[in-house]
Structure 1
């Protein structure tokens, strides 16, 4: 019925378009594109979309700040380009599609002093080029159809738990973000103390609860009265509606900004207004080589699995009315880096954790990330790289709280495993990914375990039922 209604609506839209421009057939397509973009950028709920925009910052800010302070990343250029990416992806997809740092490349740059901006940009361009090629040739879509669902869930669970564990470290330990190291136990009290982080976490739990259920149970036929009573019980109380309307993540982030100025008031004197200078990065032959070997090779499996495959599956779970192909996601990630990295913008990708975090805090449309993108572009144009002095004073414990809920939301996507075999494969994939800190190794072990279980069932009279992401082939 939903599909039929959508089809009727589309036919009506086409009819209206043909009536409004009967003498200009060539204007029909641009008009349809404009209408679709406008629909994708409509706020479902103003405060909820604003709140959802904060759900990705727990990952974005620490990595960008670390690269800026440790490797002289051009923060102003990065803010402008990633803000533009946010606006474009929001307009294209109509959901809170995130734009996150490429984590493996960032980790190499932070830990290796010889991996500078040229190597960083070379690895981003090469990674983007491979993803773009996989997308335009259709190979990415083939990969998406062949990977078992339980393996994808293992990658999502591992990434979610990794975010959550990192968040707990941010909350418990004082962090030296440029060196990506802990400096000791965080004090209980203070403007970046444990009590502050705990209060923020409790506030978010009270406001947001455990999150919205993805699949509500369908009432059985013949039990109309009982179903009506159950639906009545499920309706939120007046208190829940009032509390649930608060933009918790935005309020927590705003508190962090205020505390940043309180912690060090003289940062105002270090702010230089105006955009940072933008220029094409000069990449030597050695930088291309090091960027490919040290950055692109370890990043590719993570980008394919988490930035494309996992995002594609998670988006279909969260927004079943909108289906995105792995091809389109692979192409957009590729183009972002092929263009932006030449000008010094941080290598970027989509990420299942960012999508889960933005959904957790209320993001439901492309307007969520478009709003975030507009804010990034304004900051990049007005403050440029000097914005780093503000971020450097932002309470890391508060960032940890935002990252914690994003990680938990992503990990909870794996709760739909229906058989013990599926759970087994998922947990093998998760365990290896976490211990080895390698999504590629976890993926290989998960696929191997899946094939062994299938081989074990070959002797049965009833053939093994293989569950693919896109259904049974």
Structure 2
């Protein structure tokens, strides 16, 4: 049975089985990354989950569509692998949020995409995928039997057609192991947080990560998502509007203990594929995140097996790499993706982005 309500955007919100399965499909990327982030940095998982819960609901109601609200993967990935500390991550997110808000209001998103070039953006995605894979190997080697068992579960479920659901199953098994160790946690309302301890710290690493992230966000979270809104839902939402809403999200959530967040074409497509058609999916998922925030205690997180996190990061990294190569055509574009990815892995993602964008611009000008 489906129940319908009217959103602020004038679109009906439905609460049906399709909206629920669509909501779960979008959590596949979010939960593994935020759990891994909380396990490897000083970020507070309950506060991060509150941020995702609130803004899933806000943008679901505002747009009336099941827009994805995801972690900014380049920045989160760099924090997971240790390139950015939490305070640097917060600073990078605030800078990215301010820029996204400004370019959205000024209508500059499309121009930025044309200057950077899609192959460079895809190369950054590939670089982050490689870095996450490297971190996954490090986490998995601590308990190889658990890691191998987790990969076997993922492989088996993928073979029978439940590739995306496999991530949630493995995450659930890890959570069950942690609960068995610590007991069922008592629900607690997260205390009000104002910035990470010590305040945001703007460093060269934070700026380099911001530059790389903005390339991905402009291409994937603004332009590609706007196109999908028209293709899948017959709604005309501009990339500048999406850029503005992402800027608002970062600037509002990070001071309260959240992390950099964005929309995403992959998450939107995933919600659609799993049955979501309205912003009701966002409301359901947002309520789910808020409920998780009540029981995501530090003790539970500490008991979560790191090898399972390694398995989750393997899946996320492979999915990110697949998304990077899927739209690539032509030898030059492939060379950009591979080159930017390699430089990002062995040197620095920010350096890879700048070098790639500069070369792309020079070659385009020479033609």
TM range (shorter): 0.7 to 0.9
- The separation in 1 between residues aligned to 2:190 and 2:199, in whole angstroms, is 27
Residue 251 of structure 2 corresponds to 338
Counting only pairs closer than 5 Å after superposition, residues 172-191 of structure 1 correspond to structure 2 as 176=139, 182-183=140-141, 186-187=144-145
Partner-residue secondary structure (3-state), 1:192: helix
Structure 2 CA distance for partners of 1:140 and 1:156, relative to 1, 3 Å: closer
Shift of 1:379: 1.3
Residue 256 of structure 1 corresponds to 170
Structure 2 CA distance for partners of 1:443 and 1:310, relative to 1, 3 Å: farther
Cα RMSD (Å)? 3.9
Gaps of 5+ in 2: 345-351
Q: Please state if 1:197 is matched with 2:154.
A: yes
Q: Please state if 1:136 is matched with 2:49.
A: no
Aligned residues of 1:272 and 1:383 also touching (Cα < 8 A): no
Offset from partner CA, 1:243-264 (integer Å, 9 cap, x none): xxxxx745x4563355235545
Structure 2 CA distance for partners of 1:166 and 1:370, relative to 1, 3 Å: farther
- Give the number of equivalent residue pairs: 355
Partner-residue secondary structure (3-state), 1:85: helix
Q: Please state if 1:275 is matched with 2:182.
A: no
Q: Which of the residues 312, 327, 348 maps onto 2:240?
A: 327
- The separation in 2 between residues aligned to 1:249 and 1:41, in whole angstroms, is 25
Shift of 1:36: 5.2
Please identify the structure whose Cα radius of gyration is greater. Answer: 1
- The separation in 2 between residues aligned to 1:294 and 1:168, in whole angstroms, is 21
Gaps of 5+ in 1: 1-32, 177-181, 206-247, 418-422, 456-473
Structure 2 CA distance for partners of 1:273 and 1:392, relative to 1, 3 Å: farther
Structure 2 CA distance for partners of 1:390 and 1:51, relative to 1, 3 Å: farther
Residue 39 of structure 1 corresponds to 11
Counting only pairs closer than 5 Å after superposition, residues 8-407 of structure 1 correspond to structure 2 as 34=6, 37=9, 39-43=11-15, 46-112=16-82, 115-144=84-113, 146=114, 151-152=117-118, 154=119, 158=123, 176=139, 182-183=140-141, 186-187=144-145, 192-204=149-161, 249-250=164-165, 252=166, 255-256=169-170, 258-260=172-174, 263-264=177-178, 266-269=180-183, 271-281=185-195, 287-289=201-203, 292-293=206-207, 295-319=209-233, 321-383=234-296, 385=298, 388-389=301-302, 392=305, 395-396=308-309, 397=311, 400-401=314-315, 404=318
- The separation in 1 between residues aligned to 2:250 and 2:99, in whole angstroms, is 11
TM superposition score normalised by structure 1: 0.62
Structure 2 CA distance for partners of 1:394 and 1:284, relative to 1, 3 Å: closer
Shift of 1:327: 1.1
Offset from partner CA, 1:224-250 (integer Å, 9 cap, x none): xxxxxxxxxxxxxxxxxxxxxxxx745
Range with greater deviation from structure 2 (296-305 or 323-332) = 296-305
Structure 2 CA distance for partners of 1:289 and 1:40, relative to 1, 3 Å: farther
Shift of 1:380: 1.2
Range with greater deviation from structure 2 (302-311 or 280-289) = 280-289
Shift of 1:92: 2.7
- The separation in 1 between residues aligned to 2:77 and 2:95, in whole angstroms, is 17
Structure 2 CA distance for partners of 1:446 and 1:204, relative to 1, 3 Å: farther
Partner-residue secondary structure (3-state), 1:287: coil
- The separation in 2 between residues aligned to 1:391 and 1:318, in whole angstroms, is 38
- The separation in 2 between residues aligned to 1:317 and 1:352, in whole angstroms, is 11
Structure 2 CA distance for partners of 1:365 and 1:386, relative to 1, 3 Å: farther
Shift of 1:387: 5.5
Offset from partner CA, 1:350-370 (integer Å, 9 cap, x none): 233333443444444322333
Q: Which of the residues 306, 330, 339 maps onto 1:432?
A: 339
Residue 16 of structure 1 corresponds to none
Aligned residues of 1:41 and 1:366 also touching (Cα < 8 A): yes
